[in-house]
Amino acid sequence: MTQNLADTSRPAAPAAESDADSSAANGAAGRGWWRDAVIYQVYPRSFADSNGDGMGDLPGVRSRLPYLRDLGVDAVWLSPFYASPQADAGYDVADYRAVDPMFGTLLDADGLIRDAHELGLRIIVDLVPNHSSDQHEWFQRALREGPGSPLRDRYHFKPGKGADGELPPNDWESIFGGPAWTRTVDPDGTPGDWYLHLFAPEQPDFNWENPAVADEFRSILRFWLDMGVDGFRIDVAHGMVKAPGLPDLGAHDQLKLLGNDVMPFFDQDGVHAIYRAWRRILEEYPGQRIGVAEAWTPTVQRTANYVRPDELHQAFNFQYLGTSWDAAELREVIDLSLDSMRPVDAPTTWVLSNHDVTRHATRFANEPGLGTQIRTPGDRELGLRRARAASLLMLALPGSAYVYQGEELGLPDVTDLPDEVRQDPSFFRAEGQDGFRDGCRVPIPWSGTEAPYGFGPTAGGPSWLPQPDSWAGLSVEVQTGDPTSTLELYRSALTIRRSHPDLGAGESVEWLETGEHLLSFRRGSFVCTVNTGSEPVRIAAPGRILLSSTEAVAVEGETVLPADSTIWWAV
Ligand code: NOJ
């Protein structure tokens, strides 16, 4: 299944600092492109469909790269496009060195990387090392060869408990609901051992104690680095090492404990040795290649462990993503994030949306505290106003920011998808009580008045999830040139962020004293003021308005900061 590509010369990654700068010894802002990069997440299924089959693909992404360059982002992170049966939308990889035919070919990936580099964009690919697909050759052979097969030790195959092994080996629960173990059938047809899957049964967990697993992933890293990618977003980066002996957790509803406790299957200290080995590989390559941890940990301090100087370069800041639209809470998490990353000399990252959570325009449209799987649209107008303000706040903070495709259009989640079109495995494992990730994965609108709104080549053509009629008014085409649109707000913000000497990388902000519901901070000659309250507030204008998330005018030294708004100032 592995596709091969005879290489030739390839365009270098965008020119940046010297390669020596990628080492851990680097100093302040500007010492590595990732320290202030705006990284745009492309979810390939839903970005652009070149062949009209209703599913986005790599040629589609490639054709839209100029849009991303013009938007003003620095890098593109692509969710998985590898050979996969798509039990979890590509996070179940059957062949780590092949492109799934539904997304294209390795040649398409090569062309995409080359084009991106020519446009000055870097490419980060997703790496899924915690588990493979159950269709991966190793797992299939392990099943076929039965007990005693050396391939079984590359996964967690264990005998069950109970008189006949009829009970799972321990009490761990799958993140997608139900037990984290599935029983196998031996080649002779009798019930056999169980295997561990922290996610869907189609996603067996690798056993990282087996050296063949570590060898294979080092080789996969090199394969994609040789293809020219600029980095990896590491899926479930906190999951690969399990507590010795796979002890019981002794609790039910384990999903609710995530984020509060260190679990025997997450955030084990042993995982860091893997990243130290990977860092050495990344540094063998020219051009500052990076690793980004998707690590859900109980505290920001524990997240910082993943970005110690000899480990990965960035980690997602999920504590920030989970924060309500509330000035006091935001200030606390901003301080905590900056304070936690400073000792390890890693940039703080900021993120509001991704393919696993309700889009922030919908999150902020609902009452706080509902979590990140919301199925009610809430007050759309309010949600969009807050989303625009939140985006300006995020882009003003020191460090690197992640933008999820479509947030620059102000897209809401699609909360009313009928059950029959849903594909998220966690929706089915939780019997429809949870797992509404399809709502943020609906293909994005580019142009035209009829679905799929330029996502595919033909008006009236298919899209793998249906788009709402209202999205005709949210397309890139409609928003381009409209100074009040969210797209133009992002374009302006990213232009200012690139050119302003005090924006981007940094380690701290200087808080300015303000009132309740207000946030105000200074970074050199730049000030950001935010009103998270529902009433307008009159403030002394700190300078000249650079950009505002809603209409705001500074007159005679004073300005009204509208409800749910952010203003950028030159001071
Ligand atoms: C995190 C990914 O972002 C998510 O989409 C996936 O379902 C799980 N990891 C399992 O790979």
pLDDT in tens, 506-540: 999 999 988 999 999 999 999 999 999 999 999 99
Look at residue 10 and tell me whether its pLDDT is greater than 80: no
pLDDT level of residue 23 (50, 70, 90 thresholds): very low
Which residue has its alpha carbon closest to ligand 1 atom 3? 356
pLDDT level of residue 403 (50, 70, 90 thresholds): very high
- 92: CA distance to ligand 1 center in Å? 9
Q: Which atom of ligand 1 lies at the shortest distance from residue 199's CA?
A: 10
Cα angle vertex 113, ends 11, 309, to 5°? Answer: 90
Looking at residue 187, its amino acid is P
- 52-56 contacts, C-beta under 8 A, 24 or more apart: 52/456, 52/457, 52/458, 52/461, 52/462, 53/102, 53/456, 53/462, 54/452, 54/456, 54/461, 54/462, 54/463, 54/464, 55/102, 55/103, 55/464, 56/103, 56/443, 56/455
HEC per residue, 172-191: CECCCCCECEEEEECCCCCE
pLDDT tens digits, residue range 103-142?
A: 999 999 999 999 999 999 999 999 999 999 999 999 999 9
Look at residue 280 and tell me whether its pLDDT is greater than 80: yes
| pLDDT for the residue numbered 4 | 43
CB-based contact 505:36 (threshold 8 Å): yes
Look at residue 469 and tell me whether its pLDDT is greater than 70: yes
Catalytic residues: 235, 284
pLDDT tens digits, residue range 482-511?
A: 999 999 999 999 999 999 999 999 999 999
| pLDDT for the residue numbered 428 | 87
Which residue has its alpha carbon closest to ligand 1 atom 5? 356
- State which of 81, 206, 236 you would mutate to test the pocket of ligand 1, scoring each by most atoms of that ligand within 8 A of its C-beta: 236
CB-based contact 341:304 (threshold 8 Å): yes
Look at residue 16 and tell me whether its pLDDT is greater than 80: no
Look at residue 2 and tell me whether its pLDDT is greater than 90: no
pLDDT level of residue 11 (50, 70, 90 thresholds): low
More confident residue, 361 or 30: 361
Q: Which atom of ligand 1 lies at the shortest distance from residue 294's CA?
A: 1
Q: Which atom of ligand 1 lies at the shortest distance from residue 92's CA?
A: 11
Q: CA-to-CA distance for 564 and 389, rounded, in angstroms?
A: 6
Looking at residue 279, its amino acid is R
Percentage with pLDDT > 90 across the chain: 87
- 38: CA distance to ligand 1 center in Å? 22
| pLDDT for the residue numbered 252 | 85
* pTM of the full structure: 0.96
Which residue has its alpha carbon closest to ligand 1 atom 11? 91
Across the chain, mean pLDDT equals 93
More confident residue, 1 or 115: 115
Look at residue 260 and tell me whether its pLDDT is greater than 80: no
Look at residue 21 and tell me whether its pLDDT is greater than 50: no
More confident residue, 28 or 166: 166
- 435: CA distance to ligand 1 center in Å? 12
Look at residue 22 and tell me whether its pLDDT is greater than 50: no
| Cα R_g (the chain), whole angstroms | 24
- 415: CA distance to ligand 1 center in Å? 20
- The least confident of 20-24, 61-65, 231-235, 421-425 is 20-24
Q: Which atom of ligand 1 lies at the shortest distance from residue 425's CA?
A: 7
Rounded mean pLDDT of 384-408?
98
Binding pocket residue ranges, ligand 1, CB within 6 Å: 88, 91, 128, 199, 235-236, 294, 355-356
- 80: CA distance to ligand 1 center in Å? 10
